Amino acid sequence: MLYDRTYMRTSLSGGLKSKTDILIVFLLIIFVIQSVLKFVDLENGLFRTLALSSQSIVTGYIWTPFTYCLFHEGPLHLIFNLIGIHFISRNVEIDLGPDTFILLLITSVAVGGVSWLVFNDSSGSLIGCSAFVMASLSSFCLRRPNQSITFLLFFILPLRIKPKFLFGGVLLLEVYGFLFTELSGTTSIAHSAHLGGMFVGALFCTNFLSNLKLPAIRFTNKKSDFFKIKRSSATSYKINLGSEPNLETKIDKILDKINDNGFASLTDEEKKLLEKAKSLFKDK
């Protein structure tokens, strides 16, 4: 079957299957540690060191624009973000591929943090990975604008909507919240960080940013070379569909390409062959 390959499964049985799974488990572990430290009255020290604030930057804690996303205000804050990561970010990882997905995570967190600092430089601190969730939402909606989705409004009412309308609605709410509540200091919600994340998610839908990859470090056996850095690209190769007479071999190559660079890296010809193979396997 097409989806019998290990990296096409996302279940936690037998180990973590995606970067999304790893991120969810990591955030849960950090929250447990945070809760224990709060119980022994050491949470404030942790926040001073790792949460984002103007004071942390002045102090020289230059890592805080990245580390603030690891912590959450409470269980509800964590749960809402984990729901977004599970249902939205997982699909974005499939579209972008694991390397570009990690780059989206890092960039959206940093830009979201800096956006918040620009408008909140006097007091308070920022925690939570909502900027990344908003980046994932933006990327998903702009990549699949007309693919109808169903979600539970208030976790009760099923609502069917096209992603482009969901994106527009969320954007309007965030802009309103930023202009009329955050700037006036009447809310603790970091709308500026959310908007920064949405901006990054939109940028990753462009050809330039969607093809960026983190440099992969590969060790060699040569004594003269300690390591080599190789930068791959989502469009760095094309599968020669006519070179293999066996359909299964061709599909294996396509699935390997999806694993390396994401579904978005496939050419139209490769997508058509994948759909053809799916129908053949269903008939069997």
The Cα-based distances of 269 to 110, 143, 207, 266, 275 in angstroms read: 37, 19, 19, 8, 10
pLDDT recorded at residue 260: 66
CA gap 250, 232 in Å, rounded: 21
Token output for 248: 């299964």
Token output for 33: 């540690």
CA gap 49, 27 in Å, rounded: 18
Question: pTM of the prediction?
Answer: 0.69
The Cα-based distances of 184 to 52, 76, 174 in angstroms read: 20, 25, 14
| Helix (H) or strand (E) segment spanning residue 19 | helix 19-39
- Residue 176's φ and ψ, nearest 5 degrees, are -60, -50
Closest CA to 255 of 245, 242, 266: 266
CA gap 77, 127 in Å, rounded: 10
CA gap 211, 57 in Å, rounded: 32
- In the block, tokens 């539970």 appear at 152
pLDDT recorded at residue 267: 77
The fourth-level CATH superfamily of domain 11-210 is Rhomboid-like (1.20.1540.10)
| Helix (H) or strand (E) segment spanning residue 159 | strand 157-161
Q: What is the largest CA-CA distance in the chain?
A: 66
pLDDT recorded at residue 232: 43
pLDDT recorded at residue 152: 66
Q: Quick check: 163 and 145 in contact, CB under 8 A?
A: yes
Residue ranges per structural domain of the chain: 11-210, 217-283
Q: Quick check: 116 and 130 in contact, CB under 8 A?
A: no
Query: Chunked in runs of 10, what are the mean pLDDT values of the chain (284 residues)?
Result: 39 62 95 88 79 91 94 92 94 91 96 94 86 96 86 70 91 96 89 96 75 49 43 47 60 74 72 71 51
CA gap 167, 222 in Å, rounded: 51
- In the block, tokens 């909140």 appear at 120
